[in-house]
Amino acid sequence: MELSAGSGMACKLEFAVQMTCEKCVNAVKSSLQGVQGVQDVNVSLESETVVVETTLPALEVQKLLESTGRRAVLKGMGSTKSQNLGAAVVMMEGPVLGVVHFLQASEDTCVIDGTLDGLSPGLHGIHIHEFGDLSRGYESCGAHYNPDGNTHGGPGDHDRHVGDLGNILAGDDGRAAFRIANERLKVWNVIGRSLVVDEGEDDLGCGNHPFSKITGNSGKGLAFGIIARSAGLFENTKKICSCDGVTIWEERDCPIAGPGRKNVQTTYAHL
Ligand code: ZN
């Protein structure tokens, strides 16, 4: 199972961080200094951005940055290579809400980083499905994305669906913050498809249930969304959302989706 936080290939995370002086810059730098999994930190006071080269999930880095008392907003995820190979984002909806970022970190490795809130504690299956159709919620998303005609399996198996990402782990607070590295997935093949997180644990094809070799028997979908192309690193220069004038700092206090987001609901679409 590829659940581990802080493993796999490093990527660059670009955060907007509220900074007004050198004191801010130093506070931000020291919040990340010596942290395992943080490989490089680049702070620009002028553009109020912090670029962190890391193997840690974005939420962990955001928490460290915000431990300085400053707001931090993830603006983009990029490869440590100079070339931008592709990135995507999914706004997850359903009873469970969240945001998941995809980054093609190299030709071989796709990094999937996300945070979901409102899950029951424990393991939950996560899969890419064939269709980007939410007209009937997760039920219209089709089967697991499976271009090779394989049987269902776990992310470490050779014989598995390309869309089989295994399980994510939610803590007692119902939050799952995860970072998965996947060698078979390519961002450009999954844009326009959907991502679904299920109510139960994926048995990775090893159970006795008739659905084990088809879906992992992980039950119904609790969170789902369409995988959409997103800005790569440094492509998103905006500090104020043009649709309603809400700054990204104010957005930070809004829920990522749902009724409480009614005034700023489209802002993530152009992040
Ligand atoms: Zn599958």
Give the pLDDT of residue 41: 96
Q: Where in the chain are the domains?
A: 11-78, 87-229
CATH number of 87-229: 2.60.40.200
Residue 155 to residue 165: CA distance in whole angstroms: 5
Give the residue ranges of the chain where pLDDT is below 70: 1-7, 82, 232-271
Distance (Å) from CA 113 to ligand 1 centroid: 20
Distance 206 CA to ligand 1 centre (A): 12
What pLDDT, on the 0 to 100 scale, is given for residue 81? 76
How do residues 7-63 score in pLDDT, each as one tens digit?
578 899 999 999 999 999 999 999 999 999 999 999 999 999 999 999 999 999 999
Distance 256 CA to ligand 1 centre (A): 28
Domain 11-78 is in which class? Answer: alpha beta
Query: What's the 211 CA to ligand 1 centre distance in angstroms?
Result: 10
User: So what's the pLDDT on residue 250?
Assistant: 62
Q: How far apart are the CA of 165 and the centre of ligand 1, in A?
A: 8
* 136 CA → ligand 1 middle, Å: 20
Q: What is the pTM of this model?
A: 0.81
Whole-number pLDDT of residue 127: 98
Q: What is the pLDDT of residue 84?
A: 74
Question: Ligand 1 centre from 186 Cα, in Å?
Answer: 16
